[in-house]
Structures are given as C-alpha cells and as structure tokens.
Amino acid sequence: MGDQRNDLVEDLPPKRAQDFSEEEDWPGYFGAVQGKGPRETLVFALDLFEQEGRGGGLAVDIAAGEGRDTVELLERGWSVVAMDNHPGAFPLLWAQVSEELKPGVKTVEVDFAKMEIPECDLVNASFALPFCKPEHFPRLWGKIVAAIWPGGRFAGQFFGDRDSWASIPNRTHHSREEVTKLLEGFEIEMMREEEKDDPPDVRNPKHWQLFHVVARKL
C-alpha cells in the first residue's frame, strides 16, 4: 500500500515555483527560482529612471526573497534596502552580491505588518503584496505611498480577485478598480493585466489574474 502511494506521488509533474508559492513553502520557492533574472516591472522602472538621467537612487525591495531584483538594482548602481521575513532569504541574497556591491545593500528581516519603509526613489514589490494579510495591507500600502518621493516609482504586482488564490485565507487580492484606486496620486506607466489558465498537464493548474504595475508618484 505504502509503495503504491509513493508511485502515485512520483507520477505527479514536478513542483514549480508557483506550487511552492501556493503552499507558502518559501525555501522551496527560493530553490525553484534560483538564478532567474529580474522581474519585467523592475526592469521597466529602472529603464525609465535611466531615460530621465536618474539612475542609481535608493530602492526598497519589499519581500525581496532570494534577491533576483535586489541583485539587478545593485548592478545598475542603486542602493537597496531589502526586506523579507523569511530567515532563509538573505543568505541566498548575500551569496549573489559581489564584495564591491555589498556596501550598497542593507537587509531587514521583518514581517509585512511591521515594515518601516524609508523614504526612497523606488519601492519594488515583485509578487509580494498578495502574501500580506488583508488586515495589514492598508497600513502597508499607506507606508509604501508615503515613502516614495514625488517623481519616484512603485513597481510590482497585484493579484486579481478572479485569480484562483483569491480564495486562500489571508491573501490580499484586488479588482482592477481597486488597483486603480490604490494608484490615485500616481501616473500609471505600466498596467498590464494578465489573465490566463495554466495548461492542464502541470501539477496544480490555476487561473491567473495579475496586474503588472509601474507607477510614478505625482
């Protein structure tokens, strides 16, 4: 009987980053995304700063994880405060930062509920905000908005209310109207809505509704 069960487990398609995210198995997630490049929202925001001749400011990377975006920021001349509450994140992040860039990054192990966000040019929150509990989200968002200097930017993702994970307790999802309302006081430079179904042959197919956002504070 035990052997049969093992056979069944082995027949499943392999876990991917999204399967670890669904379970909030962050070490599993960090392993699955190791070596991946920066998020498109971050790259879009950094390109806009550079077009304005404003590269190399101060960024706060919220829920930075193993550091894929923090590394990009550092390599493009930015100073970064990287925040995450998982103790497994920052050893992986530091391991990717060259000695000469290490003075440019400060890591803060902290929960969304207790984040104090320093004033900055850019708040980056890649695939991060949906994991903040709904009761803590309004305060966190208020701190994000207050921290960004006029002319600075927010980059990151919101998850939609039609996304499969909206029904998981303690997740924060938003309708398009709610995202637009959150971004009052910003000029929206990117708002790419992505809605799709996973193919049926993946381990745990889900419906995705994501908003990829870059916005400039007025």
Ligand X SMILES: C[S@@+](CC[C@H](N)C(=O)[O-])C[C@H]1O[C@@H](n2cnc3c(N)ncnc32)[C@H](O)[C@@H]1O
Nearer to ligand X, 83 or 215 (CB): 83
What are the tokens at 61? 């990377």
Number of residues assigned to the chain: 218
Nearer to ligand X, 50 or 170 (CB): 170
> Strand pairing partners for 153?
122, 216
Site string for ligand X, 123-152 (x = CB under 6 A): ---xxx--x---------------------
Q: Which amino acid is present at 56?
A: G
Site string for ligand X, 167-206 (x = CB under 6 A): ----------------------------------------
Nearer to ligand X, 63 or 122 (CB): 63
Contact status: 217 vs ligand X (CB under 6 A): no
Strands laid side by side in the 58-62 sheet:
105-109, 79-84, 58-62, 120-125, 148-159, 207-217, 186-197
Contact status: 97 vs ligand X (CB under 6 A): no
Instruction: Tell me the three-class secondary structure of 75-106, residue by residue.
Output: HCCCEEEEEECCCCHHHHHHCCCCHHHHHHEE
> Strand pairing partners for 80?
59, 105
Nearer to ligand X, 37 or 185 (CB): 37
Nearer to ligand X, 138 or 151 (CB): 138
Report CA 41 to chain centroid distance, whole Å: 10
Residues from 17 through 76 that contact ligand X (CB under 6 A): 21, 26, 29, 33, 39, 63-65, 68
Which parts of this chain interact with ligand X (CB under 6 A)? 21, 26, 29, 33, 39, 63-65, 68, 84-86, 89, 111-112, 126-128, 131
